[in-house]
A and B are shown apart, each in its own frame.
Chain A
Amino acid sequence: MGSYTEIVWLGINVFLFVEFYLKFLVDRWFYTRVLLGHALPWARAPAACLNFNCMLILLPVCRNLLSFLRGSIQCCSRTAARQLDRNITFHKLVAYMIAFHTAVHIIAHLFNFEYFMDAQLNRNSSLLTFVLSEIGSGDNASFLNPIRSNETNPTFVMFTTVAGLTGVAITLALILIITSSVEVIRRSYFEVFWYTHHLFVLFFVGLVFHGFGRIVRGQTENSTATNNPLVCANRFEEWGRDGSGCEVPVFAGNQPGTWRWVLAPIILYVCERLVRFYRSHQKVVITKVVMHPSKTLELQMRRKGFHMEVGQYVFIQCPSVSRLEWHPFTLTSAPEEDYFSAHIRIVGDWTQALYEACGGDKNEPQEAWKLPKVAIDGPFGTASEDVFQYEVVMLVGAGIGVTPFASILKSVWYKRIQNNQEVFTKNIYFYWLCPETQAFEWFADLLHSLEGQMEERGVSDFLSYNMYLTRWKQEDAEHYWVQHQAENDPITGLKQKTHFGKPNWDNEFTSIASKHPRTKVGVFLCGPPQLGKSLEKQCLSYSEGEVKFIFNKENF
């Protein structure tokens, strides 16, 4: 699915490379190629690809723009809408391509500088290269060779030309951005990543000015009329003499063209940052803070005009903790509720500071006015409304991946019971795979309350859930074994028991298929890709007869 975009993008890269390579093989560049050989097109082709990729790189991170686009596309095509969710992956891919083309471009220019220098050092009037280098020494405007004398060296020239200086600056910026963006640094020291990434401003400024020196020079149109390279190249000793038919060639540089590629994305990105800034000043009120066991903080909030759908996420900022950090969290509330909530696990500096700002480490409840100000950007993400299209649904969540299902389960419940709507979904089979007991508690509370409400209304078969402890310790098992006869599960307190190990998918699929013949069963997963592959295989193999299992590649 996402690979179509990537194939098209790769195709455009190849096309641009080849087209611009060929563009520099025409006669206008003949004399330039006398000096540089094929190093000229080898430098210009990646330059064109760099223009293209630098244009693209800002677009995937304009999340508000993408969200707006997704909203308008969604009515036409859900598939296209889902493409827009893989934006960061695409951003990284484009970045790698920029790094690659930069390397090719620099290596080609290293050769170019060396050849330009060679032409100035071999001061022999019987060499075309030297004659070409001498052109323009008088007016310093019509020259071909940017190295104007033999008393210099390439390094010095590089640091004294606009192209060279900007080139060094933007390459350094690019390298620093890349080394601070590797996963180790990004996950552990987010601030280093985020602040260093802002070198992209320097990168784009340098990039736009990189061509202003017009250092790449070819023959002017007028000049090719009076000096046809194919004819006159060999007769360079006679250039300018009467009757030779060859005037001295005149050279000029190309107009800088990068701004034409990157201006629009830069404007879009500036708009994106303005939108984020505006949103960060919209008033968001924390209505309730709940501390759950095992270091999970629940924030219930309200904002005027906030509208969400199931399975979406928001970015949360807390200025008192950090002015520059926005972190994404899945929304765990249903759209039918009058607040929106996120369950935040306390795993790092920012979450720990947020926890303390909300008074988590104090024993008494906090006054409402003492709670910190927060800002919300979003909601983002494709709505997971597909869940409601199926009569029977299998939801599989692994570990923290269960979070979007909180929203879905609550929403289905509200639709079924409170709004008196005829909900198409009649049965939900929920599987929660978790490596340890500790992450259970807040979600178990939710299931507990759903369990209670279902019993009251006598609809206990609406939702059936299974928890699987995939990693367990000796003491857990012993404790469980001793309590085996208890009515409620000793770990979660729920009536349905916790299982140990991994689910036996064959059994599950078989039993669901036998209970619901002649139905389409939707299977949704939020978890690791290997589990996705194995579930997909199971769906295909059990979709025989009149039961169809449809695996949804949701990317929550």
Chain B
Amino acid sequence: MGKIEWAMWANEQALAAGLILLTGGIVGVSGQFRGWQFAAYAIAAGVFVCALEYPRSKRAKGTSVSRPGQHCLTMCVKAFGPLTRNYYVRAFLHAGICIPGGFMLATVLGCVCLGIASLIYLGAAVRGEHWEPILPRKDVRKPVGESIKNPPQNPPPRPPPEMRRKNINDLEGAAYDNPFSTTADEY
């Protein structure tokens, strides 16, 4: 299991946990359960976790598959610099976020799932992984020179006619190889 990037799995788990927290929170608030304040918190926490975890990190090895429409959130997450880059911060952040969820039945599942994600992130951080934004690749094409728009007005400089005339006495020197055969089309 040497080359596994645990952060990829932690990311999936955290995203799922965010959704579960959100759902539990919505149920708690709409059903007006006892302790609905925790449910309201869970809605906010769920949205935050989903937003943080939606942009996938660039993989250290191999091709990274980005989630649809993640570019905007990638920019937001990237703006926080080392806070979001470092997985230790994420691990402790998720551990902290999940605790209030444990006080109400509707949000307990989200709390435990986020706790598990936090543990996996801790493992990833210990192994030195970190978050890299997936940025769109800029296609670097050789810029077409300006001169292509202005074809030359004059023919290229040539040596004077005396030099261009082939010397009959030196046929060998006068011959040159065509890069491709100049026989007539046969097909």
Interface residues of A (CB under 8 A from B): 103, 106-107, 110-111, 113-114, 117, 153-155, 158, 168, 171-172, 175-176, 178-180, 182, 184-185, 188-189, 191-192, 349, 481-482, 485
A175-B113, A185-B12 given as contacts; is B105 within 8 A of A192 (CB)?
no
With a CB–CB cut-off of 8 A, which chain A residues contact B141? Answer: none
A172-B113, A175-B16, A180-B12 given as contacts; is B62 within 8 A of A188 (CB)?
yes
Q: How far is the CB of B143 from chain A (nearest CB, A)?
A: 18
A113-B105, A192-B1 given as contacts; is B13 within 8 A of A482 (CB)?
no
**Interface bits B66-105 vs A (CB < 8 Å: 1, else 0):** 0000000000000000000000000000000000001111
Q: How far is the CB of A411 from chain B (nearest CB, A)?
A: 36
> B48: CB under 8 A from chain A?
no
Q: Are A192 and B180 in contact (CB under 8 A)?
A: no
Stretch at the interface among B26-34, B145-153, B160-168, B169-177: B26-34
Known pairs A175-B16, A185-B9, A349-B3 / 10 extra A-B pairs, C-beta < 8 Å: A107-B23, A107-B27, A110-B31, A110-B106, A154-B105, A172-B116, A175-B113, A188-B59, A191-B1, A349-B2
Q: How far is the CB of B120 from chain A (nearest CB, A)?
A: 10
With a CB–CB cut-off of 8 A, which chain B residues contact A155? Answer: 102-105, 108
Q: Are B33 and A114 in contact (CB under 8 A)?
A: yes
A-B contact pairs, 7 of them (CB 8 A): A106-B109, A110-B106, A114-B34, A185-B12, A189-B3, A349-B2, A349-B3
With a CB–CB cut-off of 8 A, which chain B residues contact A107? Answer: 23, 27
- In Å, the complex CA distance between A117 and B112 comes to 23
Q: Are A168 and B1 in contact (CB under 8 A)?
A: no
Q: Are B112 and A182 in contact (CB under 8 A)?
A: no
> B126: CB under 8 A from chain A?
no
Contact of A172 among B112, B179, B181 (CB under 8 A): B112
- In Å, the complex CA distance between A178 and B59 comes to 21
With a CB–CB cut-off of 8 A, which chain B residues contact A111? Answer: 27, 31
Contact of A189 among B4, B16, B103, B104 (CB under 8 A): B4
Residue of B nearest to A349 (CB): B3
Give the 9 A-B residue pairs with the shortest CB-CB distance, closest first: A154-B105, A179-B12, A189-B4, A179-B13, A155-B105, A191-B1, A114-B33, A110-B106, A179-B16
Taking CB atoms and an 8 Å cut-off, the chain B residues in 28-44 that contact chain A are 28, 31, 33-34
Q: Are A482 and B9 in contact (CB under 8 A)?
A: no
- In Å, the complex CA distance between A154 and B4 comes to 39
With a CB–CB cut-off of 8 A, which chain A residues contact B179? Answer: 482
Q: Are A192 and B9 in contact (CB under 8 A)?
A: yes
> B144: CB under 8 A from chain A?
no
With a CB–CB cut-off of 8 A, which chain A residues contact B34? Answer: 114, 117, 153
Q: How far is the CB of A43 from chain B (nearest CB, A)?
A: 13
- In Å, the complex CA distance between A184 and B27 comes to 31
- In Å, the complex CA distance between A107 and B39 comes to 13
Q: Are A176 and B116 in contact (CB under 8 A)?
A: yes
- In Å, the complex CA distance between A407 and B155 comes to 62
A114-B34, A482-B180 given as contacts; is B20 within 8 A of A175 (CB)?
yes
Q: How far is the CB of A428 from chain B (nearest CB, A)?
A: 25
Q: Are A189 and B5 in contact (CB under 8 A)?
A: yes
- In Å, the complex CA distance between A357 and B68 comes to 40
- In Å, the complex CA distance between A188 and B4 comes to 8
With a CB–CB cut-off of 8 A, which chain A residues contact B2? Answer: 349
Residue of A nearest to B113 (CB): A175
With a CB–CB cut-off of 8 A, which chain A residues contact B33? Answer: 110, 114
Contact of B112 among A154, A168, A180 (CB under 8 A): A168
Q: Are A168 and B13 in contact (CB under 8 A)?
A: no
Q: How far is the CB of A169 from chain B (nearest CB, A)?
A: 10
**Interface bits B103-123 vs A (CB < 8 Å: 1, else 0):** 111101100110010000000
> B8: CB under 8 A from chain A?
yes
Residue of A nearest to B63 (CB): A188
Q: Are B8 and A103 in contact (CB under 8 A)?
A: no
- In Å, the complex CA distance between A103 and B106 comes to 12
Contact of A103 among B23, B56, B108, B181 (CB under 8 A): B23
> B140: CB under 8 A from chain A?
no
With a CB–CB cut-off of 8 A, which chain B residues contact A113? Answer: 105
> B65: CB under 8 A from chain A?
yes
With a CB–CB cut-off of 8 A, which chain A residues contact B24? Answer: 110
With a CB–CB cut-off of 8 A, which chain A residues contact B12? Answer: 179-180, 182, 184-185
- In Å, the complex CA distance between A107 and B4 comes to 35
Q: Are A191 and B4 in contact (CB under 8 A)?
A: yes
- In Å, the complex CA distance between A481 and B180 comes to 9
A110-B27, A154-B105 given as contacts; is B8 within 8 A of A189 (CB)?
yes
- In Å, the complex CA distance between A168 and B105 comes to 11
Q: Are A179 and B31 in contact (CB under 8 A)?
A: no
Q: Are A185 and B16 in contact (CB under 8 A)?
A: no
Q: Are A171 and B109 in contact (CB under 8 A)?
A: yes
Q: Which of B24, B31, B105, B116 has most chain A Cβ within 10 Å? A: B105
Q: Which of A117, A171, A179, A349 has most chain B Cβ within 10 Å? A: A179
Q: Are A110 and B105 in contact (CB under 8 A)?
A: yes
- In Å, the complex CA distance between A103 and B16 comes to 13
Q: Are B16 and A178 in contact (CB under 8 A)?
A: yes
- In Å, the complex CA distance between A489 and B104 comes to 72
Q: How far is the CB of B57 from chain A (nearest CB, A)?
A: 11
Q: Are A184 and B16 in contact (CB under 8 A)?
A: no
Contact of A485 among B16, B28, B112, B181 (CB under 8 A): B181
With a CB–CB cut-off of 8 A, which chain B residues contact A103? Answer: 23
- In Å, the complex CA distance between A106 and B20 comes to 11
Q: Are A180 and B9 in contact (CB under 8 A)?
A: yes
Q: Are A185 and B113 in contact (CB under 8 A)?
A: no
Residue of B nearest to A171 (CB): B109
Q: Which of B9, B102, B108 has most chain A Cβ within 10 Å? A: B9
A114-B33, A175-B20, A485-B181 given as contacts; is B8 within 8 A of A185 (CB)?
yes
Q: How far is the CB of A210 from chain B (nearest CB, A)?
A: 15
With a CB–CB cut-off of 8 A, which chain B residues contact A481? Answer: 180
Q: How far is the CB of A260 from chain B (nearest CB, A)?
A: 28
- In Å, the complex CA distance between A178 and B180 comes to 61
Residue of B nearest to A113 (CB): B105
With a CB–CB cut-off of 8 A, which chain A residues contact B4? Answer: 189, 191-192
- In Å, the complex CA distance between A117 and B33 comes to 10
Q: How far is the CB of B45 from chain A (nearest CB, A)?
A: 17
